[in-house]
Structure 1
Amino acid sequence: MVGIDKINFYTPNTYIDLVTLAEARGIDPDKFIIGIGQSKMSVPPISQDTVTMGANAAFPILEKADLELIDLIVVGTESGIDESKSVGTFIHDLLGVQPFAKAVEIKQACYGATAGLMMAVDYVRLHPDRKALVIGSDISRYGLATSGEVTQGAGAIAMVISSNPRILEIEGETVALTQNIFDFWRPNYSDTAIVDGKFSNEAYISSFHTLWEEFMRRTELKLSDFDAFCFHMPYTKMGKKALLPILENEDKDLANQLIFNYDLGTHYTRHIGNIYTGSLYLSLMSLLNNPDHKLTAKSRIGFFSYGSGAVAEIFSGVLVPGFEKHLLKKEQEEHLESRISLSIDEYEALFNETIPKDDGIHTINRSKTDNSLFYLKEINEHKRIYGK
């Protein structure tokens, strides 16, 4: 049995309220709050990047024994900081993982962390006495006053993968789908993504339905074998658009249960925004931390991971007896509640801050609101130097 032994998330300490943003942009707030199901959007200061957010997510769940047993660190991201050097090497150093570990970065849009999870699960199955660390860390940027502005966000998730996991066992059969399409992409020369919004929604929904049919064929599982579904969520209404059509001819009680649990899984995304590679696993934490769920040991959860461009995958997991004792509900909710609301001027100022690109030594101005453990300290001859 291999799966998720520990799991945590991190998001920057500042956010913009989407009612405030809507009013500043001359838009009806209901289009944000009700239409796409978003309420707040995390805004990272310049001192927080893919490396620091990943390290900040992982640090609270790592004990000395984990640092000695982790052989593999995989970081899924589409917000990499270097075209050659992986985010994983920085995080390996910041966390103090034993030196004989592999550390890599995987890129395939929002699917990257799931690719890392599958790699980690396979590794631990072959090395049951060792562990792996999987991180999804991203900053979602589309630009100020753009159509995609409201679906931005920032954050990271971290998972320790082990034998005899204490939260979720990953089941063996998974089904993936690859299509070479342009629904969302970001050329190397662009700081913001290019999005075909309507096509991307259609591709997401179509991928889920294609995979679901194939998953049922291969596994012989049916919808009634599942107690909940977690989806990649660029915004909270997206997954429901894919889920609802397969519920139309199902038992009403089952359909209501799956919709209910889906909604429980949207809370964190609603208040953080789109964190790309980590959003699927943010949904899992939101679901399991919610006191209203009725999930128990042996409850089966379905997972739909989607990364534009496009790679998607469906897999399943079963909750382990005593899973609720190993969640960080109190700490995670305190983290969300302690954040600081920004004014429009403060939000736009943070958004417009940029990393120096010229040679020399540049100290990064760490804002007073950035109270995170790890932070970007300086750029020294094009090298990123981090503080703790």
Structure 2
Amino acid sequence: MNIGIDKIGFYTPDQYVDMEKLAEIRGVDPAKYTIGIGQEKMAVAPLHEDAVSMGANAALSILDGEDREKIDLVLFGTESGVDHSKSGAVWVHHLTGIQENACSFELKQACYGATAGIKMAMGHIALNPDSKVLVIGADIAKYGLNTTGEPTQGAGAVAMVLSSDPHIFALDNDSAALTKDISDFWRPLYSDFAFVDGKYSNESYLSFLKAVWGVYKEKTQRDLKDFEALCFHLPYTKMAKKAILTLTEEANEEDAERLMSHYQNSIVYNKQVGNVYTGALYLSLLSLLEQGPELKEGSRIGLFSYGSGAVGEFFSGVVQADYKHYINKENNESLLNTRRELTTDEYEAISEKALPKDGSNIEINNDQVVEGRAYLAAIQDNLRKYAIK
């Protein structure tokens, strides 16, 4: 039985900062942002959008009536949780109208959370072949103004419906994983912003990649020649280029050129959004499928998931026949192309806004919300109130 991604959707806030203009304001050579880390635009979340609302909006872009009746498990991967107890999955379950006899919960391990959800979904469907599972990766990457991490911020969500006999991408049970207790990136409970040792984190990412790739090759007897393309977790898009160069150090020219060619298609969306943490790998996969030439049925794509702290995993899947008919390229391009560019002053004003932490009530202005989208409407009596406009 094939198990994998039957539908995949994406959402990002409708406003962004141009990275060249931000670099100029910060007194940095724009090439450091556009070439050095490979980013063109950075999505900025307004106060009425958080991981829950973005996850719900990503899901609403793909779910139909049959999905709502057959989904019996909702898995929400995030490191931008909004409650220490209640999971974002429960709110998403409600906002998307999924039938009530479903189990819903949240998963956390830095940027690995959505991959953990996918692995759990595969096991659930193997035991319950007629069920469907909604897996979401939604996050807001925040490091603060004028910090070294500022140009690697972003916001967005990817939602996937997993099922048996998927239309888009069948996943293989062929993974290799690694866990080590390291401190390359973290966010204490008391902090709104993440802390990162950038150089160490990059080194750890590549070290984990080499380690799990070595184990994967030994377990499966596959090599680079067996992969049409590779997709990676993207804290910034240049990271994938570093990853490919690491894996192809001793590869033949044909394999290296093929993988690097597909890399360009796999970063189109991420370049325009920034880091979406748990959703970054799957946004890259979506970009590859929508922005690249149609891949032959059975083409194998390798996936590397990395969550700081740290967990890494390499696994793979194969594209399905006519998968292009089951993705929403026009919808996703429209979502990105109709956003509003923020001035630096607007961006900084939005970045400095925060929800109250003292239990105060707040009604949140929803003038910017497009009809049919979920948003955070208020906090009343210490409860978050979500709505769909």
SS of structure 2 residue aligned to 1:253: helix
Task: Summarize deviations over 1:96-154 as a string: whole Å, max 9, x none.
Answer: 11111110100100000000000001101110001000000000000000000000000
Instruction: Name 2:350's counterpart in structure 1.
Output: 350
SS of structure 1 residue aligned to 2:362: strand
Equivalenced residues, count:
387
Amino acid aligned to 1:137: A
Amino acid aligned to 2:200: F
* Equivalent residues of 2:228, 2:259 under 8 A apart: yes
* Equivalent residues of 1:184, 1:200 under 8 A apart: yes
Instruction: Name 2:333's counterpart in structure 1.
Output: 333
Instruction: Name 2:248's counterpart in structure 1.
Output: 247
* Equivalent residues of 2:10, 2:61 under 8 A apart: no
CA gap of 1:230–1:372, structure 2 versus 1, over 3 A, is farther
SS of structure 2 residue aligned to 1:169: strand
* Equivalence map 1:57-136=2 (5 Å): 57-136=58-137
Amino acid aligned to 1:133: L
Per-residue deviation at 1:356?
1.8
Amino acid aligned to 1:136: G
Amino acid aligned to 2:312: A
Unaligned 5+ segments in structure 1 are: none
Amino acid aligned to 1:164: D
Per-residue deviation at 1:239?
1.7
Instruction: Name 1:205's counterpart in structure 2.
Output: 206
CA gap of 1:369–1:23, structure 2 versus 1, over 3 A, is farther
Amino acid aligned to 1:380: Q
**What is the CA–CA distance in structure 2 between the aligned matches of 1:197 and 1:247, rounded to whole Å?**
23
Amino acid aligned to 1:57: A
* Equivalence map 1:357-372=2 (5 Å): 357-368=357-368
Unaligned 5+ segments in structure 2 are: none
* Equivalence map 1:1-388=2 (5 Å): 1-290=2-291, 292-293=292-293, 295-368=295-368, 373-388=373-388
Amino acid aligned to 2:330: K
* Equivalent residues of 1:45, 1:367 under 8 A apart: no
CA gap of 1:215–1:373, structure 2 versus 1, over 3 A, is same
Per-residue deviation at 1:367?
4.7
Which TM-score applies when normalising by structure 1?
A: 0.98
Per-residue deviation at 1:293?
2.8
**What is the CA–CA distance in structure 1 between the aligned matches of 2:172 and 2:327, rounded to whole Å?**
20
**What is the CA–CA distance in structure 2 between the aligned matches of 1:369 and 1:103, rounded to whole Å?**
26
Amino acid aligned to 1:34: I
**What is the CA–CA distance in structure 2 between the aligned matches of 1:18 and 1:369, rounded to whole Å?**
24
**What is the CA–CA distance in structure 1 between the aligned matches of 2:196 and 2:144, rounded to whole Å?**
12
Moved more, 161-170 or 235-244: 235-244
CA gap of 1:36–1:372, structure 2 versus 1, over 3 A, is farther
* Equivalent residues of 2:206, 2:246 under 8 A apart: no
Amino acid aligned to 1:90: W
**What is the CA–CA distance in structure 1 between the aligned matches of 2:261 and 2:293, rounded to whole Å?**
8
Moved more, 78-87 or 292-301: 292-301
Amino acid aligned to 1:375: Y
SS of structure 2 residue aligned to 1:61: coil
**What is the CA–CA distance in structure 1 between the aligned matches of 2:57 and 2:151, rounded to whole Å?**
25
* Equivalent residues of 1:13, 1:371 under 8 A apart: no
* Equivalent residues of 1:364, 1:377 under 8 A apart: yes
* Equivalent residues of 1:46, 1:366 under 8 A apart: no
* Equivalent residues of 2:294, 2:324 under 8 A apart: no
Task: Summarize deviations over 1:288-347 as a string: whole Å, max 9, x none.
Answer: 111x43521100000000000000110000011111110100100010000000001100
Per-residue deviation at 1:360?
4.7
What's the % identity of the aligned pairs?
50
Per-residue deviation at 1:359?
3.3
Which TM-score applies when normalising by structure 2?
A: 0.98
Alignment root-mean-square deviation, CA:
1.1
CA gap of 1:62–1:13, structure 2 versus 1, over 3 A, is same
